Amino acid sequence: MVLYSVTRDDGGFLTVSGEVKNTAGKRYTVPTAWSGEESAIVRTGRSFAAMTLVDSKERKRYYVLRDTDNRPLTTTGFSPWIQPNESLPFFAQFPAPPQTTTKVDLQFPGFPNAPIEIS
């Protein structure tokens, strides 16, 4: 996983964007855990809804936002595989932490925690 940006939007949102690259010589099967386990989210199909941000200092966890139809505000509807040497671009929107919070940990199933700075 490569992160390209973590930015605050004017509306009080935090947008994370990047891509998951398959550097292996065989296709990668996208884990169902990436979509999360909530029944409302499972209906939307494949997504990055299981991504969370953790502010250890404030002891808060931020979840991917949902729209008024309870769909996650993240990349959805992608293939169940990432072919060799291809990548899957993604974005995910979260409620923005307070302005004083400049570092959070990104948590996503199958990947180690990644400390990130908010710009």
Q: Per residue of the chain (119 residues), what is the pLDDT tens digit?
A: 999 999 998 889 999 999 999 999 999 999 999 998 887 777 788 999 999 999 998 999 999 999 998 899 999 999 999 999 999 999 999 999 999 999 999 999 999 999 999 97
Question: Which token pair is 103?
Answer: 């570092």
State the pLDDT at residue 20.
96
Exposed, middle or buried: residue 33 (CB in 10 Å: 0-12, 13-18, 19+)?
A: exposed
C-alpha 28 chain-centroid distance: 18
Distance, in Å, from the CA atom of 67 to the CA atom of 14, rounded to the nearest integer, reads 15
Classify 35 as helix, strand or coil.
helix
Other Cβ atoms less than 10 A from the Cβ of 74: the count is 25
Beta bridge partners, 90, equal: 18
Distance, in Å, from the CA atom of 30 to the CA atom of 101, rounded to the nearest integer, reads 32
Distance, in Å, from the CA atom of 80 to the CA atom of 31, rounded to the nearest integer, reads 8
